[in-house]
A and B are shown apart, each in its own frame.
Chain A
Amino acid sequence: MLIRRAPDIQASEITDEALYLDRRRFITRAGVGLAAFGTLGASRTLEACEGGSQDDDKLTPYEDVTTYNNFYEFGTDKDDPAKNAHTLRPRPWSIAIEGHVKKPAVYAIEDFLKPHKLEERVYRMRCVEAWSMVIPWLGFPLANLIKRVEPTSKAKYLEFTTLHDAQQMPGQRRPVLDWPYAEGLRLDEAMHPLALLVAGLYGKVLPNQNGAPLRLVVPWKYGFKGIKSIVRIRFVETQPRTAWNVAAPDEYGFYANVNPDVDHPRWSQAKERRIGEFRRRATLPFNGYADQVAGLYAGMDLRKFF
C-alpha cells in the first residue's frame, strides 16, 4: 500500500501561540485525567499527525461533544446518551483479540492500553446526518495494535463489536438495530496512520456517552464507523457485517467514506452544519483527508462502494 505524504504544513496551519498554550493546558489536564488509567501519559502532540487541518477548524466545545451524541444503546435522541449512559460500567472491562492473529488474547482494558502511548489528535468528525464537529481525541494508532497482535496472511478485514448487555445499555431492549453493534475495516484501512483507537477526549478519560472505555475513530469516514465501547476485535478473511449496513443496506455502505458527491438516498451530503456554526459549509471528499487516504481506494467506483 502506498500512502501519499501529506503536503508540507502551510503557514496558515501553524498553531498560534494562544492556541498552543491552550494545548499545553489540555496536555496538563490529560495527565490529570489519565491518572485514572494508571501508568499512562500522553505524548506530545505532533501537528503533522493532524493532516489536513484547516485554519477554520475550531474545536467544538466539550459541552457539545459530550451532550449531542448518536449512541443508540442509550436511546435514539441526541441528548439520550448523556442522560442515560451512567448505567455503563467501563471498569472492569475486557477486550478480546480473536481470529487470524498470532497472538489472540483477552486483555483487561488497563493491559490493553499499557504498551501504547496516548497522543492527542484533533480530527474533524462528520456524521452521516450532515453535521460535524472538531474533536481533540486522545488515543493511539490502530496500526500499533495490529502490529502488536501480528495478523496472519489470512487476515483481510477487522471486525469490531460493541458490548451486548441490556442491563448496562438499556437501549438494547428495543430492536432498533441488530445488537450488538458491529463495524469493520479493511486491513489496509485499519493500518492507515489516521485510524485511531481512542480512550479519551479533551485530555480526559472518554465519557461513557462518547464510547468509554475504548472506541474507534476513522476521520475520513462517516461517524457511525467509529464504533463505541468495544469488547472484541476479530481479524477475519471476508468483509464483516456492519450494523447500519444490515439495518439499511441501500442507505449505509460498508465503506461509508465521506463523499459530498454521493447523497444519502433521503438527504444531501454536499453540505454539513458544523456544530456551533450558523451557515452550512461544503463537505470535503474524505472529510478533507483525501490527500492522505484517497490512495486506499484507487480504481474503486465510490458510487458503488459507498
Chain B
Amino acid sequence: MRPQSRRLATVSLVLVCLLPAAWLARRALTDDLGANPIEELEIQTGLWTLRFLALTLAVTPVRRLAGWNWLAKHRRTLGLVTFGYACLHLSMYIGLDMFFDVSDIVEDVAEHLYITVGMLAFLLLIPLAATSTKNAIRRMGRRWTRLHRLVWAVAALGTVHFLWAVKKDIREPLIYAAIFAGLLLLRWPSRAKK
C-alpha cells in the first residue's frame, strides 16, 4: 500500500473508533443519559475501554487465522484508542464523579479494592502507550515484546474492576472474562510452535 492510502486507512479507523465517544457526547448534550448521567458516562466509557482492548488483542489471532496481514499495522491504533477511552473513563471519575476532591480520591483508591484494581490497570497502560512509537519498538527490541505482555495484566485487572463494581448480576463481566480468556488461549499454540 502506498504511504498516502495507508495514512487514509489509519485516519478512517480512528474516526470510526471515535464514534462511541461522539455518540456519548451527543447523548450528554441532548440530556439523554438518564437520571444519573455521571454514572452512565462512567459505565459507558469503561465498557468501551474493555471493548477496544478486546479488539486490540483480537488483531493478532485474526491476522493469523484469516491471513489478513494488513491488520497488523492497525493494532497500534486500536491500542492507543483503548488508552484514549481509559483516559476518558478516568477523567469522568476524577473530574465529574469525584469533582477533583483529592482526599476523597486517595481514600477511594486506597480503601476500595475495585477502584485500586482499576487504577492499577490504568497505570499499566501508560508505559504501553508511551512505547508505542516506531522508534521505541526498534530501540527496545525483545524488551518491547516482553513489556507489552503487560496488556494481559491490564485485561485481567480491567475485568476484575468491572466484576467488583457490579452489585449482583455478574453476567456481563463474565462475558468479558470469557472473551479475554479465549483470546489468550488463541495465543498459546502459536507461541509453542516457535
Contact = CB atoms under 8 A, between A and B. Distances in A.
Given A266-B112, A267-B112, A67 B169 contact: no
Given A63-B35, A64-B35, 4 more contacts: A266-B113, A275-B35, A278-B38, A280-B97
Contact of B168 (A68, A177, A280): A177
Cβ-closest 9 pairs across A and B: A68-B35, A76-B169, A64-B35, A275-B35, A176-B169, A267-B112, A279-B99, A176-B168, A266-B114
Interface in A121-152: 129, 131
A273 interface: yes
A247 B168 contact: yes
A72 B99 contact: no
A266 B164 contact: yes
Contacts, number: 50
Interface residues of B, number: 21
Nearest to B114: A266
Nearest to A76: B169
Contacts of A86: none
A11 interface: no
B112 A268 contact: yes
Interface of A: 63-64, 67-68, 72, 76, 78-79, 129, 131, 176-177, 247-248, 263, 266-268, 271, 273, 275-276, 278-280
A68 B111 contact: no
A68 B34 contact: yes
24 contacts: A67-B35, A68-B34, A72-B168, A72-B169, A76-B169, A78-B35, A78-B36, A129-B167, A131-B36, A247-B168, A248-B168, A263-B111, A266-B113, A266-B114, A266-B164, A267-B114, A268-B108, A271-B104, A273-B38, A275-B36, A278-B38, A278-B96, A279-B99, A280-B97
Contacts of A279: 99
B168 A76 contact: yes
Q: Identify the interface centre among B38, B96, B97, B169: most chain A CB within 10 Å of its CB.
A: B169
